[in-house]
Structure 1
Amino acid sequence: MSHHINGTVLQARYQIVQSLGAGVFGQTYIAVDIDYPENAKCVIKQLKVNSGHSSYLDYLRLRFLTETETLKHLGRHKQIPQLITCFEENERFYLVQEFIEGHALTAELPINQKWGRMWSEHEVVQFLKDVLEILEFVHSQGFIHCDVKPENLIRRNADGKLVLIDFGSIQPIDFNIDAEIPISRIPTTSLGYIPPEQFIGQTKPNSDIYSLGIIAIQALTGTAPLQLKIDPYSNEIIWRSENTPVNDYLAAVLSRMIRYNFQDRFQSASDVLRVLRQIVWEAQPQPIINSQNPVFSKTTVDGHNLPQNSVFGKSSPLLTGLKVGLTVNSLFLGLGAYSLVNTPPSNSEAETLYKASKEYQKGDLQEAIALAKSIPSHSDVYPEAQATIGEWQEQWQMAVEQYLIAEQAMNEGRWSDVILAVPEVPDILYWQSKTGKLVQQAQANIETQTQALLAKAYEKAEIKDFSAALECLRQIPQESSAGAIVQKKLAEYSQKRQIRAKYFLHKAYAKASSSDFNTAIKFLQKIPKDTQVYAQAQIRLNEYTQKQRLQEEAENIAILKNVSAPQSKNSFVPSNSDMRKMNLQPENYLQEVNIKQ
């Protein structure tokens, strides 16, 4: 369904008013129930259908009806949206759920260690208890959420309680919990919160506990999941430092919630709750009163308060134009004011210096100097004119040099260097105009290059070649207007590259456990050098290579023994099988074995 669905009425009752976007397993919309005068809002989720074959649809229909009964039961919990109804229309399957008025937990979390307020230990514990009680109920019903993240926790306006949304309702009905999840189907917002086992089809109830622990650490430290460091040998997340404001007890609980191996974690939400309830606070934490804005740390420039993230010193063509205009106006107005405060005999000399300045800005240095030198030595303006001539000559030389640098960079296709040269050009309108044209051309070339590299990066990511995709993104100049997109994709592809490396390592383990060392080695050789599991993969690569060689030697010896086995004493005429063995020529086979060794 596309964005054109807005206004469409389903089941002659639910009118779509807004699209909330596509998830991994379906499309979500906000609708109004036109049967009620209040036009109460609801959420409609259209589940994906991967095939239009009649037998597949019959199977899907059966699974759909079965799982909606589960969702109805889950909706009885006061912190889970109620399932209002479900229906099929035009061979498409829809769920209608309660709409929760509120905001996502994302709005409450610190963006990083400088933006937003870190949560106190008390707040983190209360948050954990609140969500764990929901998960305890969900797990008790034999259901796993599989996508616990800040976006799926809504702070309800009515009572301030957290509500857990987006359950299996956004999964396709034919979703197999034992199947591997392709990385390309995982939304960017879920990366970092999904535990390792979920990528290889071994999702457990404590997979949700891992996700919840990551959110708690983000709230406590201000570190986003994708920014957390990982021990390359144990694969455990390193989240605590000596400056982290957390006591040892809570730190131990959080660390156990996010253990790499699900068998080392808390096995149930009830276990975590039981431990958290034993925490006794020595004193009720007092709210921290911050005189500064919790989101914006301000600084003062020329008497004006500005957000700390304001960017200075990086010129764009537009800022360059403004800078030139202000410079010329300041010069002209300044000289005009100078002429007003001077004595009448000096008015003509001030006017001459003003004209010289205009010629200088227009690009005629020699005429400007000639006019300035024409001012008599007895004039009050003379000292300033002489000083101005020297300043002009110095700035002109600098402008010429910077323009030539920018021009050479342009000719050599170094677009970023063209832009970097602009701030160094003195405030001379003539040279600013010339370099401004170079900047416009360079900027256009950068955008063309950016689009080509982005398209190539998307193409490589589509086939899961994240190393090549990252290489394309790193070639995009920082001056590109797509900087925000590039940074986002760099983080996304870097994480997916790490995940894919771990996926290859797990596949190698699986193949090696069945003595298929050849395939295991191939998986290990796919792991990029700068990934977190590379060192571990190299250790396994050496181990499996040695085991593969021993395995081959054992097989060769077994074959050789079968070839050279003595004939039966009671057999006077060789059988057909014996003749085949004789034709193998054992002495030649021995030579071949020795050569391989």
Structure 2
Amino acid sequence: MTKDELSQQLAANSPAVEKPPMELAETEPSEHPSLKLPLFLTGMGVAMTNYNLVAISWGLYSLFHVSPSSSGENLLQIARAQYQAGNFDQALALAKSIPTDSPAYEESTAAILQWRRDWFLAAAKFKATEQAFQEGRWRDVLEEVRQTPDITVWRKKMLPFVLGAIPKLEVEAQQLLQQVHQLAAQKDFTGALALIKQIPPETPTGVKLQPKLIEYRQKQQIQAEYLLQQAYNRAEVRDFQGALRYLSQIPPDTPTYQQAQVKIVEYQQKQLFKEKVERKVKLGKVVSYQRQTSFEETTLGFNPGVVWQEVNPL
């Protein structure tokens, strides 16, 4: 298979690398009135305020007016609603009121412990998010929010910081996008993937680049298989140094990488043996290098590797 045929295979795998979309290249961050928010922040708006009012009213009523016949499961459900609404003390009081003989007692006990840990962790993450925002560390803002426990009231408090950080990060994402397309045009898919991972998926550019992750990973794997095949070809003619150079180029995040590591160990051993034989040849201690290599193949079981279906270079 020729280089042109491999290029056609890559092109068939997905559309050719294109220029950055005009809407991404020309739009300023401030012109994104409807930024796509992370999933963990979707749905927080005016409805959240109404939810809080209902949850608070219902929770306070339930705290003092739950009938004796109410089950522990119902109490625990109400306590969870209070907890998500931000009524920490009321939630704990409701959970603690579940009778010890209730089927929900053990679950409520575990929930109380978890709620305490998550609540104080969320409070700490909120402070860290606020500080990161004030210091202009936009990536840290999103990272702190990602690590925050799933408590609605705390996520709502963090929402303004996220909305402020995303436009700032979009400016950087646009710059990285240009480099991604340049590397992909050079068929450096490993480098392109590394840059894509630096673009926060919460930004508009990050959202649009997610399909490229699949495309570039497929093309990266094609390259890895080509490099492995070339290493086999060099080993077959006992050019172990050349084989090792090909193997060293296989990216760690490909399925081919582990197989390449096994061959690296094997070819390093064979290269050492080859050098040892060559030294003996120079000293006149063996008749010929060919006889020694033939003996080595018999005793060590030379195996350059399975000949794969040919994959041409890019």
TM-score of the two chains, using structure 2 as the length reference: 0.48
Structure holding more strand per residue:
1
TM-score of the two chains, using structure 1 as the length reference: 0.27
Structure holding more helix per residue:
2
Which of structures 1 and 2 has the bigger CA Rg? 1
If asked which structure has higher relative contact order (CA below 8 Å, sep 6+), I would say 2
